[in-house]
């Protein structure tokens, strides 16, 4: 079968690999029907994800059909499923607390340290936890982001411990920032401020009612604007979903005292935490990889039209064109939010 791999020289290539086989009773093999590229895939190719293993098949955002299963798996052959970006046992110390990203037997494996979804077939471990059945009335493409960016947006929104009277600022109007915003709307947050250097993305956020205020730091003073919107206090909560050079500093600076700063962003450089300067601001930082444990709920919200990520699909290509797709996704933040790749 064909599979897309990355190499240490920062190139990607479609190669032939063996069709994967069931290895454990909890495994399934799925035939991928649609996949997408995540900004974290780009971080892997560029060598910024220490645990990623060279020549592993990329891709951790995909949907497909079960074609083979181990004897412990409850779903049926032929079921259409959304795949969780994380593989977790559901039984260990961390899983029992919902911290599935740190599962002692799994975590983020697919497309990182075991073969992922940019291929014709994939082996999915811990299938009972990792797969969510796509109901007949939900289009596969509508379920494509449940296991990664929507899960991340929802988790980031929950990290802020949202209260409907909060003013919540989101840095980055990319797919993760917008999924955070739609989750905050689901939590009935009325005052959402989105910050991005890209006006196209800010306009999409406003057009989809995901932001009440949009700020472009290249055009306005973000700090002054946030103060003017918050009676000079700063944002009650901040979600940092940009992950760029100055966005971490912006995140804690626009936060009010005692705020929660949630950081789903994955950085390519170390960040500075100037604790003496921050002393007295009494901030709570929450960081890291998504605990993608609520995909079944997210599927229900999509089924009931409470949340939709359909507008994020700006491009559609065939798997054979995936290498050009990576280039386009990386270089065209003006035109491209997410690509649906048909397998
Ligand atoms: N924590 C997780 O489990 C998880 C899951 C998925 C993605 N991610 C990470 O989340 C981050 C966001 O992902 P995405 O797909 O939305 O990325 P993206 O690159 O599409 O979006 C980032 C946005 O930030 C904007 N931006 C860049 N510099 C900025 C600045 N200085 N100020 C304000 N805005 C700025 C960009 O214009 C862009 O719109 C990435 O780092 C990605 O790797 C993390
Ligand atoms: Zn991802
Ligand atoms: Zn576990």
Note the pLDDT tens digit of each residue in 257-315.
999 999 999 998 999 999 999 999 999 999 999 999 999 999 999 999 999 999 999 99
Tell whether ligand 1 has an atom less than 6 A from the beta carbon of residue 253.
Answer: no
How many angstroms is it from 51 CA to the middle of ligand 3? 18
Identify the residue whose C-alpha is closest to ligand 1 atom 22: 242
pLDDT digits (tens, 9 = 90+) for 59-79: 999 999 999 999 999 999 999
Sign, CA torsion 242/243/248/250: negative
Q: What is the DSSP letter of 193?
A: E
Q: What are phi and psi of 143, to 5 degrees?
A: -100, 0
Tokens of 183: 């989750």
Residues 6 or more apart whose Cβ sits within 8 Å of residue 284: 258, 259, 260, 261
Q: Ligand 1: which of 176, 199, 206, 247 to mutate, most ligand atoms within 8 Å of CB?
A: 176
Instruction: State in Å: Cα 39 to ligand 1 middle.
Output: 7
Cα–Cα distance, 307 to 326 (Å, whole number): 27
CB of 210 within 8 A of CB of 182? yes
Residue 334 has pLDDT above 90, yes or no: no
Q: Is 338 in the pocket of ligand 1 (CB under 6 A)?
A: no
Q: Kindly report, residue by residue over 111-167, the tens digit of the pLDDT.
A: 999 999 999 999 999 999 999 999 999 999 999 999 999 999 999 999 999 999 999
Report whether residue 292 contacts ligand 1, using a CB cutoff of 6 Å. Answer: no
Q: Which atom of ligand 1 is nearest to the CA of 108?
A: 3
The CA 82 to ligand 3 mean position distance, Å, reads: 20
pLDDT in tens, 80-96: 999 999 999 999 999 99
Dihedral, CA of residue 317, residue 32, residue 123 and residue 49, to nearest 10: 20
How open is the CA angle 328-330-333, to the nearest 5 degrees?
A: 85
With contact defined as beta carbons under 8 Å apart, do 98 and 129 qualify? no
Residue 43 has pLDDT above 90, yes or no: yes
pLDDT score for 233: 98
Give me 313's structure tokens: 């699909």
pLDDT for the residue numbered 245: 86
Question: Who's near 7: CB < 8 A, 6+ residues apart?
Answer: 13, 54, 55
State in Å: Cα 175 to ligand 1 middle. 7
CB 125 within 8 A of CB 31: no
The percent of residues in the chain predicted with pLDDT above 90, rounded, is: 98
CB 338 within 8 A of CB 178: no
- Cα(90) to centroid of ligand 3, in Å? 5
Average pLDDT over residues 17-44: 98
CATH annotation of 2-145+309-342: 3.90.180.10
Instruction: Determine the distance separating the centroid of ligand 2 and the alpha carbon of 58, expressed in angstroms.
Output: 11
Q: Which residues contact 221 (CB under 8 A, 6 or more apart)?
A: none
pLDDT average, residue stretch 104-110? 97
* pLDDT given for residue 87 in this prediction: 97
3-state secondary structure of 322: helix
Q: What is the mean pLDDT of residues 186-200?
A: 97
Query: Is any ligand 1 atom within 6 A of the Cβ of residue 170?
Result: no
Q: With 0-12 CB in 10 A as exposed, 13-18 as middle and 19+ as buried, what is 328?
A: middle
On whether the CB atoms of residues 123 and 22 are closer than 8 A, the answer is yes
Whether residue 64 has its Cβ less than 6 Å from ligand 1: no
User: Could you tell me the pLDDT band of residue 198, with boundaries at 50, 70 and 90?
Assistant: very high
Q: Which helix (H) or strand (E) holds 260?
A: strand 255-263
Q: Where in the chain is the domain with CATH 3.90.180.10?
A: 2-145+309-342
Locate all alpha helices (DSSP H) within 12-134, ordered by sequence: 39-45, 93-96, 127-130
CA distance 252 to 237: 10
224-257: pLDDT as tens digits? 999 999 999 999 999 999 999 899 999 999 999 9
pLDDT recorded at residue 315: 98
Q: pLDDT at residue 204 above 90? A: yes
How many other C-beta atoms are found inside a 10 Å radius of the C-beta of residue 27? 21
Within the chain, which residue ranges are assigned CATH 3.40.50.720?
Answer: 151-287
pTM above 0.85, yes or no: yes
DSSP one-letter string for 132-152: EEPPTTS-GGGGTTIIIIIHH
How many CA atoms are closer than 13 Å to the CA of 320, on its beta-carbon side? 0
Pick the CATH number of 151-287 from 3.40.50.720, 3.30.565.10, 3.50.50.60, 3.30.930.10: 3.40.50.720
Answer whether 293 contacts ligand 1 (Cβ < 6 A).
no
Q: Which residues, in sequence order, are CB contacts of 177 under 8 Å at separation 6+?
A: 153, 170, 171, 194, 196, 205, 239, 241, 242
Q: Indicate if ligand 1 lies below 6 Å from the C-beta of 266.
A: yes
Decide if 174 contacts 333 (C-beta within 8 A): yes
Mean pLDDT of the chain: 97
């Amino acid at each position: 079968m064909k599979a897309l791999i990355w190499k240490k020289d920062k190139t990607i290539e479609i190669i032939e690999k063996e069709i994967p086989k069931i290895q454990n009773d909890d495994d399934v093999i799925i035939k991928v029907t649609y996949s997408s590229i995540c900004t974290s895939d780009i971080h892997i190719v560029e060598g910024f994800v220490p645990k990623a293993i060279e020549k592993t098949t990329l891709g951790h955002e995909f949907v497909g059909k079960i074609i083979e299963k181990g004897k412990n798996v409850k779903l049926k052959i032929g079921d259409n499923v959304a795949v969780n970006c994380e593989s977790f046992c559901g039984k260990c110390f961390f899983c029992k607390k919902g911290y599935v990203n740190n599962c002692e037997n799994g975590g983020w494996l697919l497309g990182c340290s075991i073969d992922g979804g940019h291929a014709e077939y994939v082996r999915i471990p811990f299938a009972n936890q990792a797969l969510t059945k796509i109901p007949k009335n939900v289009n596969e493409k509508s379920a494509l982001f449940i296991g990664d960016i929507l899960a991340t947006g929802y988790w980031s929104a929950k990290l802020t411990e949202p209260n409907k009277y909060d003013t919540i600022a989101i840095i980055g109007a990319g797919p993760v920032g917008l999924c955070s915003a739609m989750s905050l709307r689901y939590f009935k947050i009325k005052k959402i401020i989105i910050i991005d250097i890209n006006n196209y993305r800010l306009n999409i956020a406003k057009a989809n009612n995901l932001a009440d205020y949009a700020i472009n730091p290249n055009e306005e003073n973000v700090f002054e604007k946030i103060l003017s919107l918050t009676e000079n206090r700063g944002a009650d909560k901040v979600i940092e979903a940009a992950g760029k050079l100055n966005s971490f500093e912006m995140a804690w600076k626009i936060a009010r005292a005692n705020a929660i700063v949630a950081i789903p962003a994955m950085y390519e450089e170390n960040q500075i935490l100037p604790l003496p300067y921050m002393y007295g601001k009494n901030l709570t930082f929450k960081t890291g990889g998504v605990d993608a444990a609520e995909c079944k709920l997210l599927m229900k919200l999509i089924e009931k039209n409470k949340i939709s990520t359909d507008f994020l699909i700006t491009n559609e290509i065939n798997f054979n064109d995936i290498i050009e797709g990576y280039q386009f996704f990386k270089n065209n933040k003006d035109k491209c939010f997410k690509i649906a790749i048909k397998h």
